[in-house]
Amino acid sequence: MGVSFDLFGTLVTADRPADPAAAIATELEKRDVRVPDDWADAYAEPHVDAPDGAEVPLPAHVSRALASRGVEYEHNAARRAVVAAFDPTVETRPGALETVEAARELGPVGICSNCSVPELVGRTLVRSDFERDDFDAIVTSVGCGWRKPAPEMFDVTADRLGVDPADLVHVGDDPQADGGIEAVGGTALLLEDVALADVPTRLSTVKSQQS
């Protein structure tokens, strides 16, 4: 059995900009990038034709939004602006450390997190009470190209943990996104149904049922 955890809202709480478009605009201006007068509209428009379930990296979206308004800028300025705009204060949720430690006694443990901002998951973990070695794999939507509930993301997570998707238990707080594990035959433990502190007991039960 392998266990994957959603990150944001499950293991940690992390603030995000109340107005992402405005926060990114501020960071673009700091990098001498001209922000169009109708930036809010440009940001809200779709610019990348992606398959259903695919993740569109936010820097790619911002780059296309700027290009749609004829804005030219230094290479990588959009990526740097996006990363800087999402600079969270992080708190580890009560019981999260103990839950991950208990999961590690049952099999490999990973993170399976939706996140369209490069580097954000890594920076979040650094600011949390977790260590990188607490996880055998870290799978992000921006890294693998698929976004939960796409089954491909859970397949990637199971593969990196070295388990069959049907033997993967995923713990998360979003029924729609995290419940997608069931499409590949795995088991969802949703925090709307079980408290984080009670997850270790539920994991032990699932382990016994799989044995």
Nearest to 206 by CA among 102, 94, 134: 102
CA–CA separation, 134 and 202 (whole Å): 20
pLDDT tens string, the chain, 211 residues long: the values are 999 999 999 999 999 999 999 999 999 999 999 999 999 999 999 999 999 999 999 999 999 999 999 999 888 999 999 999 999 999 999 999 999 999 999 999 999 999 999 999 999 999 999 998 999 999 999 999 999 999 999 999 999 999 999 999 999 999 999 999 999 999 999 999 999 999 999 999 988 887 7
CA–CA separation, 139 and 5 (whole Å): 10
CA–CA separation, 79 and 38 (whole Å): 20
Contact 198, 179 (CB under 8 A): no
What 208-211 contacts at long range (C-beta under 8 Å, 24+ apart), as own/partner pairs, is: 210/1, 210/167
- Domain range for 33: 20-85
How many structural domains does the chain have?
Answer: 2
* Same-domain check for residues 11 and 35: no
> Looking at residue 94, which CATH number applies to its domain?
3.40.50.1000
Instruction: Say what the pTM is.
Output: 0.94
